[in-house]
Structure 1
Amino acid sequence: MAADCLRILAVSHSCVVGLNQQRYEALARFSDLDLTLMFPTHYVSDFDGRRLDPDKTTAERYRIVSGPPVLAGNGSLYFYRRGLREAFDRSQPQVVFVDEEPWSLSAAQMVWGARRRGARTVFFTNQNLRKALPPPFCWIQRLVFRAAGWAFTAGEEAAEVLRWKGYTGPVSLLPFGVDPTLFRPQDATTLRRELGLRGTVFGYFGRLVPEKGVAIFARAALGLCDRFPEAVSFLLAGSGPEGDRLRQMIGATPHAPRFVFVDRTLREEAPRYLCAADVVVVPSLRTRRWKEQFGRILVEALACGVPVIGSDSGETPFLIRRLEGGVVVPEGNVEALADAMAAMTREPARRQALAETGRARVLAGYTHEAVAATMRDVFLKVARADRR
């Protein structure tokens, strides 16, 4: 442990999945930081209830500490049975980064630990809905707000919600990053031919669930088929409860041959399938309990040089406007989405311009390295403030 390095302890249950450690891998490359990362010995998927065991438990440039969780997979209710003392002893942190919602039990554990060790706290939140919390969660949130020297949010709406909740400290946007060596433009001619895709290809990538708006996409796509005979086709990559219903709805029309369903793609295959599309559509719908918190697929598509169309749900419109790589349509509006898709079909030069601008923006500010640089700058500011 280098004496002149800023010592950081980060906790994040999402890092059970090795791919989610990429921002920390990039952070650990800074020579003036000493990083320890903690996550549970296992977790349970929020989406399908599968047990997730860590697929990366050692690292070259940073320490990894894991501890057995209680109530794994229960969001804000999970906490650590053991392991915190080891994490604090091994890291001797000056800054503790809580990559958990600020009302969670694990956040409370980390803040109490940081206070005992005299460390400063930084936290991250995705929450972009105005929700009043019952005790004890509102008490935990106040504790975290008082202790925090800085906050990160996934998007602009989350920052607004944070202010509404009463947080008065500094806030910075911290997007989810992308690996530009994996998500990059590539020739997908062979894959398109294998899948039977032709003309302008519109892609949907994600869970086949109502709130993701996949039925809106399908209805807009069917309408587009009437406008452009033989000139468009559609790729739907994902799985979920809406899958069978969509297949039945599309199969009952004469346009079914233009639709290709891919149940699931491996992470390393995702860029190839993204590049098989000419436009990626993200038609999310808000619900009473959820709206789009970031939209990682938007960044990944643009990194691959594919422009996007997104609904004005949650963070999606803010992200598209910052990246300048696509167009925004009203959520749930089939006709508006079909019109936007038609415009993209007619204007390949516009598609190309949007793709080039969006990819440049992603490479400038949305790689794991760029995200890690933002984290480092904040951690250094918080540590310096403590010395004044």
Structure 2
Amino acid sequence: MRVTLISKALVVGAYQRKCELLAAHPGVALTVLVPPSWGNQPLERAYANGYALQVIPIRFNGNFHLHYYPTLPRALAQLRPDVVHVDEEPYNLATWLAVKAARALRPSPRVVFFSWQNIRRRYPPPFSWMERSVLRTADAALVGSESACVVWRAKGFTRPIHVIPQFGVDEQTFAPPDERRNGEAFVVGYAGRLVREKGVDVLICAFARLPNSARLLIVGAGPELNALRALAQQLRVAERVTFCPSLPSTHMPEFYRALDAFVLPSRTLPNWKEQFGRVLVEAMACGVPVIASSCGEAPSVVGDAGLIFDEADDAALADCLTALMAQPDRRAELGRRGRARVLAHFTMRHIADRTVEVYRALCADAGR
């Protein structure tokens, strides 16, 4: 079974572990097509282990809706895949062109797309036209959540939809430290984009209610950086809040292991709600107790392995942090439960195994 996976997300080196596990399945010959960069993120790992990795040019790099791969039709014609996996939303130009190129091959391969979209949004032409075309011609969909499944059923997609998050976690790389943290300071962490929907201002307001022995590490970049720095100054906690630029994926386990608690304080906006929260499962895999807001999919990801607070309620978040600060045994228990939940549901191997099942079902259906 020849599989071609087209993914800009795989510029992140840690994510390529999924490809190794996909290719490890008997009978799977995997080729991954990846751009040399996505936005400001360069390709972190340009070698492959057990599969073929081809770097192909990208146009309109960094534009989510308009980017595409000009040499993709030629690449697919050379590879002659049985399955084309477009790791992209169905309303994007890249997806529409990839599906069109796949359908032009003879014999035509099976085509699957991926979506995180958990809000039913309407797009203007030509994006609405491209979306309808992809929904009409794709053979299956992978989605990151049950709410995304509901969206695409409501939009008329009638073929199989499989709820499989885009990437899992490598449980060997993202693992607890050999010894539990035992520092004087209680260290709280956040990692991600510094944008309004991620609610980092709520976290800073909650942190300002904690004792002076607490510290806050914020890793990431975005347009809210200066406003967040100003808020920390205004609340007189700037000396206890450290802002760090985004880290390479390979450095993230070290970041998580330095924490006593990790917080994802996302807030719902009219056009966005939390789609998954990958940082949650990374922190959980490292044995760090997590606190998430009630936004979108975050509570489903955390389950009973962490704490949930009402989004935008900084007092409620402060109560969660205060409770963990005062109860080291509870922190340890939540850390163990989080790790166990990741091992049961969110490892790279789990995601890869379920994805190969989809590939095999598509090929079996094609052979009937």
Do these two structures clear the TM 0.5 threshold for a shared fold by scoring above it?
yes
Q: Is the aligned partner of 1:185 residue 2:176?
A: yes
CA deviation after TM superposition for structure 1 residue 53, in Å = 4.5
Q: Partner of 2:111: helix, strand, or coil?
A: strand
For 1:214, the equivalent position in structure 2 comes to 200
Instruction: Compute the RMSD of aligned alpha carbons.
Output: 2.3
Query: Is contact 1:120–1:147 with CA below 8 Å preserved after alignment?
Result: no
Q: Tell me, what secondary structure is at the counterpart of 1:96?
A: strand
* SS at structure 2 position matched to 1:80: coil
Aligned-pair distance for 1:83? 3.7
Contact 1:95 1:119 in 2 (8 A): yes
C-alpha displacement of 1:328: 1.3
Are the equivalent residues in 2 in contact too, given 1:66–1:83 (CA < 8 A)? no
> Which position in structure 2 is the counterpart of 1:105?
93
Post-superposition shift, 1:189? 7.8
C-alpha deviation, 1:234, in angstroms: 2.5
Q: For residues 148-159 of structure 1, what are the structure 2 equivalents within 5 Å?
A: 148-159=138-149
Q: Matched residues in 1 for 2:260 and 2:12: separation?
A: 30
Match of 1:341 among 284, 309, 321: 321
The 3 A distance-change label for structure 1 pair 332 and 112 is same
> What residue in structure 2 maps to residue 320 of structure 1?
302
Change (3 A) 1:108 1:199: same
1:300-319 Cα offsets, whole Å, 9 max, x none, are 10010011110111221221
- Is the contact made by 1:184 and 1:304 (CA closer than 8 Å) also made in structure 2? yes
Q: Equivalent residues in 2 for 1:179-328 (5 A)?
A: 179-186=170-177, 198-225=184-211, 230=213, 232-252=214-234, 255-321=237-303, 324-328=304-308
Match of 1:85 among 74, 92, 100: 74
Q: What amino acid does structure 2 have at the position aligned with 1:183?
A: F
Q: Give 1:214 deviation, angstroms.
A: 0.9
Contact 2:72 2:98 in 1 (8 A): no
Please give the per-residue CA displacement for 1:96-145, whole angstroms capped at 9, x wherever unaligned. 11111112222122222322332111110111222112222222222222
Alignment match, 1:68: 57
Aligned to 2:6: 11
Inter-CA distance 155–376: structure 2 relative to 1 (3 Å threshold): same
CA spacing shift, 1:16–1:304, aligned 2, 3 Å: closer
| SS of corresponding position for 2:139 | strand
Return the match for 1:59 from 41, 48, 53. Answer: 48
Amino acid at match of 1:16: V
- Asked if 1 retains the 8 angstrom alpha-carbon contact of 2:76 and 2:102, the reply is no
Equivalent AA in structure 2 for residue 70 of structure 1: R
CA distance in 2, matches of 1:168, 1:159: 11
Matched letter for residue 97 of structure 2: Q
Find 2:104's aligned residue among 104, 116, 132. 116
> Which residue is equivalent to 1:3?
none
Correspondence 1:22 to 2:44: no
Q: Which runs of 5+ in 2 are unaligned?
A: none
Distance in 2, matches of 1:253 and 1:141, equals: 46
* In structure 2, distance between residues paired with 1:259 and 1:57: 35
Query: In structure 2, do the counterparts of structure 1 residues 341 and 34 end up closer, same or farther at CA, with 3 Å as the change threshold?
Result: same
Listed one character per residue, the Cα deviations across residues 156-201 of structure 1 (whole Å, up to 9, x for unaligned) are 22222212222122222222211222211115889x86xxxx3432
Query: Quick one: distance in 2 between partners of 1:33 and 1:237?
Result: 38
The 1:39–1:257 alpha-carbon spacing in structure 2 relative to 1, beyond 3 Å, is closer
SS at match of 1:76: coil
- When normalised by structure 1's length, the TM-score is 0.86
**Distance change in 2, residues 1:82/1:126 (3 Å):** same
Question: Which one-letter code corresponds to 1:333 in the other structure?
Answer: D
Separation in structure 1 between the aligned mates of residue 43 and residue 351 of structure 2, nearest angstrom: 23
Unaligned runs of 5+ in 1: 1-5
1:38–1:66 contact (8 Å) kept in structure 2: yes
Distance 1:262 1:187, change over 3 A: farther
Distance, in Å, in 2 between the alignment partners of 1:19 and 1:35 is 18
